[in-house]
Amino acid sequence: MDCHAIIPNLPTAKRMRNFSLSAQALLRHAQKQALKAEKCRLSGNPEGAAAWKRLEQSTRREANFLQQQKYILSEVINNPKGTEKCA
């Protein structure tokens, strides 16, 4: 592979790394939110537990979205010509 094939992918690789790091950070926050939900549940605060659980689920969805974006970019890099169609 020559350098011309690598250079255009540098911004994409950086985006993939950012997607991955952001997703990891969001998953850590989701774990903290789950703990807060459990603490609320144990302390007899069902409304607080439900709110923290909703936040946790939303955070996990965002992390999943970022992971999907990373996967899509990796597919674009690995298959630059696209998929072959059957006749």
Quick one: CA dihedral 14, 20, 24, 27, positive or negative? positive
Q: State the average pLDDT over residues 12-25.
A: 89
Q: Is the pLDDT of residue 62 over 50?
A: yes
State whether residue 11 is helix, strand or coil. Answer: helix
pTM score, whole prediction: 0.75
Annotate 59-76 with b (16+ C-beta within 10 A) or e (fewer).
Answer: bbebbeebbebbeebeee
- Say if residue 37's pLDDT is above 80: yes
